[in-house]
Amino acid sequence: MTVTEPIEGYKETEIGVLPDDWDARKLSQLFEIQQGKALAQKHKKGISPHPFLRTANVFWGRVDLTNIDWMDFTSGEIDKLALRDGDLLVCEGGDIGRTAIWRGQIDRCCYQNHLHRLRPKDSDAFPLFYMFWMQASILLLGLYVGTGNKTTIPNLSRGRLSEYLLPLPPLPEQQKISSILSTIQEAKEKTENVIKATKELKKSMMKHLFTYGAVPVEEAERVPLKETEIGMIPEHWEMVRLEDLITKTKQMNPENTPDGEFKYIDVSGINRETLTISDYKSYVGKDAPSRARKLVETGDVIFATVRPTLKRVALIDENFHGEICSTAFCVLRARRERVLPPFIYHTVSRESFIDGLGKIQRGASYPAVTDTDVKRQKIPLPPLNEQEQIVETLTFIDNKTNAEEFKRRSLDTLFKTLLSLLMTGKLRVKDLEIPV
């Protein structure tokens, strides 16, 4: 067996190849480890209640303070367990090793016993660097595998955690690496906030457009409305069954052309966040799944009839024209003289449409509706010119969301790539001028 020597400037260690000027130390040499207070019913109420964190609050790289519990802590326990800015929190159970940094968001906040608190013993260890190291080592590098205790519920004991071997780059390099990764992480968080806000905007606009039509918000009160089965709609709109707005579609058996290639869209390939086709498989006819039967064309709307409340809907674009989807979809092909395909897409994505099918789905373990159930649902129908305005508005919002989703995915890929390269010293930044 040939042994590959590390390249010049690098050395072999127990945690992989590292730069020559990086040291390696046990975690217990760099950090004090303190486990939190055990949960107990008798501590739920007391003379000194304080907020505390559970493992459910600690995610990779962030602490979620949406839901905070309170528990009784004595003054001695507060002195011992109150978190300080820069403390690391490591999950003992569940997603073992999941690590976040505390930024002093809540005064005198403590933590439960299923969390380890790491506090640097001296200035050689920059906490943020080691938060990123834990993420890289566990999620990307596969280190510390099998270090959890072998109990009914696997957990990471203090003893095992203290033995973790960590890299120790010079402090300025730790700080520069942390600054780079933090900048990308912050950009990703800002993008996620934009996505969240854009989705809320769409939800609000959907409600407005399907109640008042394509009119400015300030003019909504002037629109005459009428009561329908699905709520108030403009007086001049129709209520029609979906089946009156669509045409028949075809099925085929791909096995009849055994060597013919096609793209197959299954229910699992629908992204429920973006309501788009995010995945598909390619087959030749002789290997086709038994459910691969329904032909689709550009402009078709596919609606999953299995577990319809999961809202797996997509609009077929030119990339899937002439391809095949599962029989678990109802294919809706618009009669374009009456309705625009994107209008059907947005209409069947509405919560009122989904809820209507949820009430008639059948089957306890495998709830489903039929194609006929979908087609017999009533929907509001504005004139074509108003459909165009509604579609234009919602498409604009969707495009904004999709652009931000692409940006988020790109940032995520960049973060993971740099996380791996920087944490192993394959990419050096020690000589770069980087604000820390």
Could you read off the pLDDT of 140-151 as tens digits, one per residue?
999 987 655 544
Query: Is it the case that residue 58 has pLDDT exceeding 90?
Result: yes
In this prediction, residue 151 carries a pLDDT of 47
Cα 229 from Cα 233, distance rounded (Å): 10
Question: Which residue type does 191 have?
Answer: T
Query: Is it the case that residue 4 has pLDDT exceeding 80?
Result: no
Query: Is it the case that residue 2 has pLDDT exceeding 70?
Result: no
What are the φ and ψ backbone dihedral angles of 404, each rounded to 5 degrees?
Answer: -70, -35
Query: Is it the case that residue 36 has pLDDT exceeding 80?
Result: yes
- Which pairing describes strands 246-247 and 329-334: parallel, antiparallel, or unpaired? antiparallel
Those residues whose C-beta lies under 8 Å from the C-beta of residue 227, and which sit 6 or more positions away, are none
How many helices (H) and strands (E) in the chain? Answer: 9, 27
Average pLDDT over residues 180-209: 96
Query: Is it the case that residue 22 has pLDDT exceeding 60?
Result: yes
Q: How confident is the model over 232-243, as pLDDT tens digits?
A: 999 999 999 999
57-91 in b/e form (b: 16+ CB < 10 A) is bbebbebeeeeeeebbbeeebeeebbbeebbbbbb
Query: Is it the case that residue 47 has pLDDT exceeding 80?
Result: no
- Tell me the pLDDT of the chain averaged across its residues: 93
- Which pairing describes strands 292-295 and 23-26: parallel, antiparallel, or unpaired? unpaired
Tokens standing for residue 21? 């000027």
Residue 54 DSSP SS3: coil
Helix axes 384-423, 171-212, angle to 10 degrees: 170
In this prediction, residue 365 carries a pLDDT of 85
In this prediction, residue 48 carries a pLDDT of 82
Q: How confident is the model over 60-92, as pLDDT tens digits?
A: 999 999 999 999 999 999 999 999 999 999 999
- Which residue has tokens 């999953």? 304
Those residues whose C-beta lies under 8 Å from the C-beta of residue 278, and which sit 6 or more positions away, are 269, 270, 271
**Structure confidence at residue 435 as a pLDDT band (50, 70, 90):** confident
Distances (CA, A) of 288 to 15, 297, 321, 331, 336: 46, 19, 18, 19, 32
CB atoms within 10 A of CB 403: 14
**Structure confidence at residue 6 as a pLDDT band (50, 70, 90):** low
**Structure confidence at residue 227 as a pLDDT band (50, 70, 90):** very high
Cα 60 from Cα 133, distance rounded (Å): 11
Those residues whose C-beta lies under 8 Å from the C-beta of residue 161, and which sit 6 or more positions away, are 27, 33, 90, 116, 147
Q: How confident is the model over 262-273, as pLDDT tens digits?
A: 999 999 999 998
User: Which domains, and CATH codes, for the chain?
Assistant: 23-168 (3.90.220.20), 169-237+382-436 (1.10.287.1120), 238-381 (3.90.220.20)
**Structure confidence at residue 408 as a pLDDT band (50, 70, 90):** very high
In this prediction, residue 7 carries a pLDDT of 81
Nearest to 35 by CA among 91, 117, 97: 117
Query: Is it the case that residue 39 has pLDDT exceeding 90?
Result: no
In this prediction, residue 40 carries a pLDDT of 74
Q: How far apart are the first and last CA of the chain?
A: 44
In this prediction, residue 145 carries a pLDDT of 73
Cα 346 from Cα 396, distance rounded (Å): 13
